[in-house]
Chains A and B, each alone.
Chain A
């Protein structure tokens, strides 16, 4: 079946460090891929998405590229801030009308 795997957290970084959170997926066909972010005490928010191979999603300095050959969608940011501390979820959906499959989440803490 369809599934999403993420690197285990928690991840702790110093401010201005480079961030990578790995995400790989298993799915037939060409799913759409997403990163959601959950700040403390808040609901999940869509951070970025990519709908086809080689697409790059970007938002708020975060980027992720849809790699069909490696079935990956790794999240990156060049310089993290304390305000980026949150839980990040990688997710996929096979078609617009299928249910969204979420990964287990990766907790990020950024220290000053």
Chain B
């Protein structure tokens, strides 16, 4: 079956623009995670959903970052008033249950803020 997909794959935004990044998890996967990966660094946790409930948003760097998963499947990460420091690859991952050990990652969205 299909893996985790993300769109767009690349996004260039002018500073101050709002962006929306989409994640389609593997069908039936309960848990969904967002990560931010800066150049040359490992992924850093942003937020976690179990079905439609956002159980942990402790990694969101500011209130400009907002994530939702209204029907417990597709998720959107929104960044308002983008800043240059938001430039990174945003990764989405899903897992079949609550356990965070085995996650399947999407290819990521590379965001460049000019």
**Chain A residues with a Cβ under 8 A of chain B:** 4, 32, 34, 41-46, 49, 89, 91, 93, 96-105
Contacts and interface: CB of A to CB of B under 8 A. Distances in A.
A104 B42 CA distance: 4
Interface in B57-111: 59, 91, 93, 98-108
Contacts of B101: 32, 34, 49, 93, 96, 100
A91 B104 CA distance: 14
Interface residues of B, number: 24
Nearest to B92: A43
Contact of B100 (A4, A100, A102, A105): A100
Interface string B32-56: 0000000011111100100000001
Nearest to B41: A104
A45 B105 contact: yes
B108 A102 contact: no
Given A49-B101, A91-B42, A102-B44, 13 more contacts: A32-B101, A43-B93, A44-B43, A44-B93, A44-B105, A46-B102, A96-B101, A97-B98, A97-B100, A99-B45, A102-B43, A104-B40, A105-B42
Interface of B: 3-4, 40-45, 48, 56, 59, 91, 93, 98-108
Given A99-B59, A104-B40, A43 B100 contact: no
Given A93-B100, A96-B100, A98-B100, A43 B42 contact: no
A103 B37 CA distance: 11
Closest 7 CB pairs between A and B?
Answer: A102-B42, A43-B105, A96-B99, A44-B105, A99-B45, A43-B107, A104-B42
A100 B56 CA distance: 13
A50 B56 CA distance: 25
B100 A42 contact: no
Contacts of A46: 102-103
